[in-house]
Structure 1
């Protein structure tokens, strides 16, 4: 019985990269969007000072949220593509 260690290492590295990207990457992007939204919103602080909003930060936050939402929708469609094809006759990907 021959064990192909390079094939095992290649498969393991792909799983680790995908896990880091989707397992930690999307929540990291979401938290970045929340932070950008907070910076862009402005508002009143506890000491009574008021800061103006920064529209560029709000637009950046919306862009980050759009990327996260698109990744979620694409992921769900990718996972359910066989069911969608079977029940609706729509072939995805």
Structure 2
């Protein structure tokens, strides 16, 4: 849990450093959850009582999201190599 400033007390530099480190780690998790929620089946309420099926659905969506991330990175590298940025 990150340290929070109170009314009368400021954060120390160590607490600020710790908060910054936690925030940099947390952003990856938040982006992953947001990417999974782009799939409609995960963003809506699922009325599935079979947890094995839900686990498979989540696994498929996670795999598709990872595939999307990998291909978008490859596409970015290819377009950068073909059309280098003009400085």
TM-score interval, smaller chain: 0.3 to 0.5
TM-score, length of structure 2 as denominator length = 0.35
Give the alignment's TM-score, normalised by structure 1. 0.33
Q: Name the structure where helix makes up a greater proportion of residues.
A: 1
Higher RCO (C-alpha under 8 Å, 6+ residues apart): 1
Highest CA radius of gyration, 1 or 2? 1
